[in-house]
Chains A and B, each alone.
Chain A
Amino acid sequence: MEMAVFGLFALLALGSSLVVVAHKSPIYSTLSLVLTLFSVAVLFVLLGAPFIATLQLLIYAGAILVLFLFVIMLLNVGREEGIPGGHRVQLVTAILGALAFTGALWLLLRPALGAAPQAALTEELVSLSGLAQELFAEYLLPFEIVGLLLLVAVIGATVVARRPTADELAGGAGAGGAGSTGSNRAVDEVEAADATTPSWAADEDRAGGGARPASFPGGGSLAGGAAAGGEAAGIATPGVRP
């Protein structure tokens, strides 16, 4: 019984991951990736790690791939587009990539191959409390650092995705708030300060300070709350609105 389930879902995982790579339509590729992740989640359950399986579904299949689909549909990507140089370039890079990956895998696995077998993953270790113990006691610092890294990525994405405000457009400043080079318009002190500080800092100022005049709309503060009148940034970036 267990073997049959394993065989079925291992085949599904392999087959669907082939479709991910081979299919011409990005939508089909993404949906196959969902199937791959689902099958791998089932394999996790068979390995006695239901928590990891659930997280796999919740985070990858339930959230990240929905964002993939969202972006694909928003950009209305139809079919795969040809790469200049055609298949030869693809082939060479694919072989190089495969070699590099094999090398990395070998370096990673070599010490383990000769060494005495380590203690097997017990059910306690991959259970809820076991994982929590490891994450929040043993590896707390790396865990927090990873969280910080994600925060940096979020802030970076917000800065990049932010629309330039009306003021910045008038002043000729770029969307990133990187200063107004080449603009010969007079920019008053406040706006200059806004343009030179990173926009997320300005947003936080605004959220904290409360009542800045509405001359600086756009760009939602991550902290949320106080900033009224701004359009939601990040994922909520409109353009979707018909």
Chain B
Amino acid sequence: MSAGTSDLIGTAIKLAVALGILLNVVPVMVWVERRGSALMQDRPGPNRLGPLGLFQALADALKFMFKEDVTPSAVDRPLYLMAPVLGLLPALTTFAVVPFGPDVTVRGHLYQMVVAPAQTGVLLFLAIASLGVYSLVMAGYASNNKYSLLGSIRASSQLISYELALTLSVVAVIIPVSSFQLRDVVDYQQHHVWNVLPQVLGFLVFLIAAFAETNRLPFDLPEAESELVAGFHTEYSAMRFATFFMSEYISMTSLSALGATLYFGGWTLPGVHISGLLGVAVGLAVLFGKVACFLAFFVWVRWTFPRFRYDQLMRLGWKVLLPLAILNLIVVAALTLAGVL
């Protein structure tokens, strides 16, 4: 086999693994969300279908597929139909730059365990993630509904505001590593400590901004049920609605994977060095163990905190998180210059 063919096959396999995991996270997360909320509210939650109610997620998915798909007559049809798909695409794509295992040599060919080993790594992640907002904006505008429009106006301003803090906290991680590639970030943490220790502040900013970027409570203003019916997806039903749902959970997963890679050593564990295909399996398991912790935290926070008001959201983003992110950036830059990091 030529090197090009091996690369192509390798990429196809990596793509299949990544997509398989990301798409299967959704039903599992729906179940976790429902059981988790039930746990926190002292009620049983869905427990009839299958062990621990696990098959409830399958039933939900089936229900979405067989429900009637209503398209209101006054919508802007092309945009209305495109919006859910455009939301799913960036959510699925961003994971491509996250590494999930050590390099493997099979039959003399070296495979990097990342779907897209791009030179600009984490920047590409942020760039593609920032395209996700168009789905929300298009959905809100095309729905021809005041609540939808309000939701998408909120979404665009919220995502822009919190992207700044998120990006600045990521830049602070990049400085000591001096590479945008996430594999170098993982490498750096293997030789030093996990970034979360020297950059607690940056991690907190990242975490809070991640909640805002994924429209999760306490920042779910674009779909605030008590004010906007359902916000930007008010007019969507059946599988189109479910597609918005899926992109929310998948972007949560991707962003969690980024957080785990930037601050918690990614697919590595301190003191564990396994190479070969077994190493890849362990790496995947470790990465998704960390991602699962992030996701559990997302659920925990959702059922704990009430929603922010719009002006509070803006004040937090611009007057608290942004200055903190800049402070963190300056401190990290100074420490790096002094040779401490």
Contact = CB atoms under 8 A, between A and B. Distances in A.
Nearest to A207: B319
Interface of B is mostly: helix
A242 B221 CA distance: 12
Interface string A85-108: 000000000000000000000000
B156 A232 contact: no
B141 A62 contact: no
Contacts of B134: 31, 34, 66, 69
A79 interface: no
A212 B322 CA distance: 23
A140 to B, nearest CB: 16
Contact of A51 (B120, B317, B319): B120
A204 interface: no
Contact of A224 (B128, B228, B323): B323
B126 interface: yes
A63 B319 contact: no
A240 interface: yes
Interface in B228-250: 228
Interface in B103-142: 118-120, 123-124, 126-128, 130-131, 133-134, 137-138, 140-141
Contacts, number: 114
Contact of A240 (B140, B154, B180, B323): B154
Interface stretch (A53-61, A110-118, A163-171): A53-61
A74 B154 CA distance: 10
B291 to A, nearest CB: 24
Interface residues of B, number: 41
Interface of A is mostly: helix
Contacts of B227: 242
A58 B311 CA distance: 26
Given A50-B118, A62-B130, A227-B319, 5 more contacts: A50-B120, A62-B163, A69-B156, A73-B140, A242-B150
Interface of B: 79, 118-120, 123-124, 126-128, 130-131, 133-134, 137-138, 140-141, 149-150, 152-154, 156-157, 159-161, 163, 180, 227-228, 310-311, 314-315, 317-320, 322-323
Interface of A: 27-28, 31, 34, 50-51, 53-55, 57-58, 61-63, 66-67, 69-70, 73-74, 76, 127-128, 220, 223-225, 227, 231-232, 234-236, 238, 240-242
22 contacts: A27-B79, A57-B130, A58-B123, A58-B126, A62-B126, A66-B160, A67-B156, A67-B160, A73-B140, A73-B149, A127-B119, A128-B180, A224-B322, A224-B323, A225-B319, A225-B323, A235-B161, A236-B315, A236-B317, A238-B310, A241-B311, A242-B150
